[in-house]
Amino acid sequence: MENNETEMPITGHLNELRKRITWIFIFVMITAVVAFAFNRQIIAMLLMPFPDGVEIVQIGVTEGLGVSMKVAIVAGLFVAFPVISFQTIMFINPALEKKEKRYVYYSLPIVFTLFFLGISFSFFLLLPFMMKFLPTFLGDLVTPQISVRSVVGTTLWLMFVMGFIFQIPVVMFVLAKIGILDPRKVAKQRKFAILLSVIAGAVITPTGDPINMLIWAAPIWVLFEIGLVLARIASDK
């Protein structure tokens, strides 16, 4: 009898997890199919940050199809991000205390907003700045030719990563609110936060050169400082 009581909750959790994953999969597939129908327009938009002097080419017979499918799936994930977040929250909801639930629910709209702000910040500010000089850095020695797979892959990766990096302030706020993060102790370790920002910038950037590293490290550090201010506000209340 005791075995059944211990097994039933596990079975229930597995069934609930399967249900949540199924809903996520269905929604992502629907949005991916819709995105595939507009793949040419989406790819044309993703090529916008690159300067006119760069020749973007297709290498290989199936590269165009592969890029189109990749764009469709990633676009489906982007659009489905609110649904993925909601289904994740619903799965962990029974394990949260009443106060924790309130903070998580209130933070969801902010999480969605910051995610899409991060994507926009990457696409409209960081990527155009990077692509002004990176592809043509040796322009006087070589003719820059970049595969469409490389262009699209780099653009999607940097947009996706920056969308999650923009979550730093709200994560720090929630952790401080529920007592996990102490902003005073974190502030004393600011130099390590700066170092981690630089390391993260080096990991994120595809080239690893110092200029791009600093371009990406700077907003990470700024977001950390914003999160630290919000954490102090949360801990004082």
Judge contact between 165 and 118, C-beta under 8 A.
Answer: yes
Coil, helix or strand at residue 56: strand
Judge contact between 42 and 71, C-beta under 8 A.
Answer: yes
Q: Check residue 169 and give its pLDDT.
A: 93
Q: Check residue 27 and give its pLDDT.
A: 93
Question: Could you tell me the mean pLDDT of each successive run of 10 residues in the chain, 237 residues long?
Answer: 48 84 93 94 89 80 92 91 86 78 81 90 85 67 79 89 91 86 88 85 71 82 92 82
pTM recorded for the entire structure: 0.78
Identify which of 14, 23, 13 has the alpha carbon closest to the alpha carbon of residue 94: 13
Residue 153 burial (10 A CB sphere; 0-12, 13-18, 19+): middle
Judge contact between 167 and 111, C-beta under 8 A.
Answer: yes
Those residues whose C-beta lies under 8 Å from the C-beta of residue 169, and which sit 6 or more positions away, are 114, 223, 226, 227, 230
CA distances 82 to 46, 111, 115, 138, 199, Å, are: 22, 9, 10, 42, 29
Q: Check residue 2 and give its pLDDT.
A: 41
Q: Check residue 7 and give its pLDDT.
A: 45
Judge contact between 170 and 105, C-beta under 8 A.
Answer: no
Judge contact between 112 and 84, C-beta under 8 A.
Answer: no
Judge contact between 204 and 161, C-beta under 8 A.
Answer: yes
